[in-house]
Amino acid sequence: MMKNLQELIVFVDSGDTLVDESTEIRDENGVVIEAQLFPGADEALRSLHRAGYRIALVADGLEASFQNIFSRHGLEECFEARAISETVGAEKPDPAMFRCAMKQMGLTEEDRGRIVMIGNNLERDIRGANGMGLHSILAAYSPRYRMSPACPEEQPDCVADHPSQIPELVESLK
């Protein structure tokens, strides 16, 4: 059975958006070998995947860390593309991060208006998405970063106070 693909494309951050960074256990090389997800984050991601959204991981960190985390939680199949800073050679808000995911998904500059970035960091995720002309959802349940925009470029389109709100907020942007 062919899955009905949604028009909106989802880019999602990892640390303190899906993964609770306070639970990370790292090896001697700084690679995350184990971490817990925020309650409801796995179901939110699976729900978007089941609904036919194309999803890309757009995250700063080490490739091996994300491989360890998402394989352990059985979420690898949710990601069609991965733009990881270690591989890209840049970090958000650099447009190279977003363009890498777009390229992997066969998207063009004209597709920017149908992409939403979900992340917890106003300076990196939201500013980067807004600067590219993408929609943005702030994961405001992260306790480690400020949640008040310092400038108009950091103003998200929507705010999720809990991971369970993400699918509904994505739907509202269609």
Q: Which residues contact 107 (CB under 8 A, 6 or more apart)?
A: 9, 115
Give pLDDT tens digits for 15-51.
Answer: 999 999 999 999 999 999 999 999 999 999 999 999 9
Determine which helix (DSSP H) or strand (DSSP E) holds 26, and give its type and residue range.
Answer: strand 25-26
Whole-number pLDDT of residue 174? 79
- For the chain, the domains span 9-172
Whole-number pLDDT of residue 163? 97
2 pLDDT exceeds 80?
A: no
Span 9-172 CATH architecture:
3-Layer(aba) Sandwich (3.40)
164 vs 5 pLDDT, higher one? 164
Could you tell me which of 32, 7, 34, 41 has the C-alpha nearest to residue 84? 32
Whole-number pLDDT of residue 142? 85
Q: How many CB atoms lie within 10 A of CB 101?
A: 26
Give pLDDT tens digits for 78-126.
Answer: 999 999 999 999 999 999 999 999 999 999 999 999 999 999 999 999 9
Whole-number pLDDT of residue 143? 81
SS3 32: strand
Q: How many CB atoms lie within 10 A of CB 23?
A: 12
Give pLDDT tens digits for 130-169.
Answer: 999 999 999 999 888 899 999 999 999 999 999 999 999 9
